[in-house]
Chains A and B, each alone.
Chain A
Amino acid sequence: MTDVFETLPVVDEAADARLRARLVAAAERDGLLDVAYRTVDSPIGALLLAATEEGLVRVAFEREDRDAVLASLADAVSPRVLAAPARLDPVARQLDEYFTGGRRAFDVPLDLRLAKGFRRAVLAHLAEIPYGRTESYAEVAAAAGSPKAVRAVGTACATNPLPLVLPCHRVVRSDGSSGNYRGGEDAKRTLLTLEAA
């Protein structure tokens, strides 16, 4: 049987791009864009950036599975997740400046809802470690108010939802070696080298 609809395009890329942009604009207007995301290139690989209406909620490394990151945002924040680059433009620009050496601190609204309790206290302290400096896990534990919680600091850094912007890469082992990093140890060394320059 002849397919009546065979002349109707199965995929119309121009229309698709137009309609997605229109959907994002309407969703933003109506307060339905709960999670906007985009990816940016960087010297340590592609980064996925996601923001709620409150602020930046997640920075994910290339080695983290993109679909898994988006699925966990859908579960933890809202399934109303759309690729919507505009909301991430300021942080994308600041990351670019950071990687080219022209920026030492980030100035964008943050949404820390993915970190709770002590982990959140650790993240709050991370923002105070200056560019180019490092602290040991034990020093961070003391600064966050629980000197014995060294392992918990390690967990808080390993699960930091906003790496780079909240600089967990500046937390290193007391023997001076860089230690684990969500983005991989190579990425951590690259960042520490960049900031030492």
Chain B
Amino acid sequence: MRPFEQVVDTYGPVVLRVCRAVVGPVDAEDAWSETFLSALKAYPALPADANVEAWLVTIAHRKAVDVTRARARRAVPVEEPPEAAVRSGRPEDWDGDLWNALAKLPDKQRAAVVYHHLVGLPYQEVAEIVGGSTDAARRAAADGMKALRATYLEGAPA
């Protein structure tokens, strides 16, 4: 079995992208930390032929649900974010414009878009993670991408 440090080396960055895209900039690092601590605990029992990336995304998904629920419990109503996000072209604009657009998606669509289009998991595995059928996962990802194109990619520099 590979030393866990190598798992962090290999998958730490992609899991951080997943956490940022699914729960947003404020809670992403909590979600990442919870994910890797859980993974470290369970790691010795992981089957040798397991897909480590899909396993980590599965854990990250559960932690994202926890983080989102915790946020909902302590949420205070705030003013709606601007209707249409405008891309600034800054490399760091993910925590403004991209997250504004992702945050507007229903949770399941956002998760499906991230796990399929960012991580590259097939729809069958996306379905196993978010629940429901493979077709439902495909539709959620397609609907999510359509909404993102309309709100976020519209007017993007070519």
Contacts and interface: CB of A to CB of B under 8 A. Distances in A.
Interface in A1-37: 2, 4-5, 7-12, 15-16, 18-20, 22-23, 26-27, 30, 32, 35, 37
A30 B21 contact: no
B130 interface: no
A75 B2 CA distance: 8
A20 to B, nearest CB: 7
Interface residues of A, number: 33
Contact of B148 (A4, A11, A78): A4
B13 A12 contact: yes
Interface hub of B13, B20, B21, B153 (most chain A Cβ within 10 A) = B13
B33 A19 contact: yes
Given A16-B16, A19-B12, A26-B37, A80 B98 contact: no
Contact of B93 (A7, A11, A20, A73): A7
- Do most interface residues of chain A lie in helix, strand or loop, or is the interface mixed? mixed
B152 A19 contact: no
21 contacts: A4-B98, A5-B21, A5-B114, A5-B117, A5-B118, A7-B98, A9-B91, A15-B16, A15-B29, A22-B29, A22-B33, A23-B8, A27-B40, A32-B41, A37-B5, A78-B44, A80-B44, A81-B4, A81-B5, A82-B4, A82-B8
B123 interface: no
Given A26-B33, A79-B2, 6 more contacts: A7-B90, A16-B13, A19-B36, A22-B33, A71-B3, A83-B5
B115 to A, nearest CB: 12
B117 to A, nearest CB: 6
B2 A10 contact: no
A74 B2 contact: yes
Contacts of B3: 35, 70-71, 73-74, 79, 81
A20 B91 contact: no
Which bracket fits the contact residues of B? 35 or more
Contacts of B4: 74, 79-82
B2 A4 contact: no
Contacts of B43: 79-80
A7 B5 contact: no
Contacts of B17: 5, 8-10
